[in-house]
Amino acid sequence: MVESEKKSFAALRDALLQGYTEFMPLTQKDIDMIPYFLLARKLCVVAWLESRKDNPRLKSYFLKEVKRTIKFFKEKI
Angle formed by the axes of helices 56-76 and 34-51, nearest 10°: 160
| Number of structural domains in the chain | 2
Structural domain boundaries, residue 40: 33-77
Model pLDDT for residues 7-49, shown as the tens digit of each residue? 888 899 999 999 999 999 999 999 999 999 999 999 999 999 9
Q: Are residues 6 and 39 in the same domain?
A: no
Q: Are residues 51 and 72 in the same domain?
A: yes
Q: Is the same domain home to 59 and 76?
A: yes
Task: State the Cα–Cα distance between residues 28 and 75, nearest whole angstrom.
Answer: 20
Kindly indicate the confidence band of residue 2, based on its pLDDT and cuts at 50, 70 and 90.
confident
* pLDDT of 6: 75
When pLDDT is averaged across residues 47-64 and rounded to a whole number, the result is: 94
pTM above 0.85, yes or no: no
State the Cα–Cα distance between residues 53 and 22, nearest whole angstrom. 42
CA distances for 60 relative to 45, 46, 67, 69, angstroms: 14, 12, 12, 15
Q: Which residues lie closer than 8 Å to 20 by C-beta, 6 or more apart?
A: 26
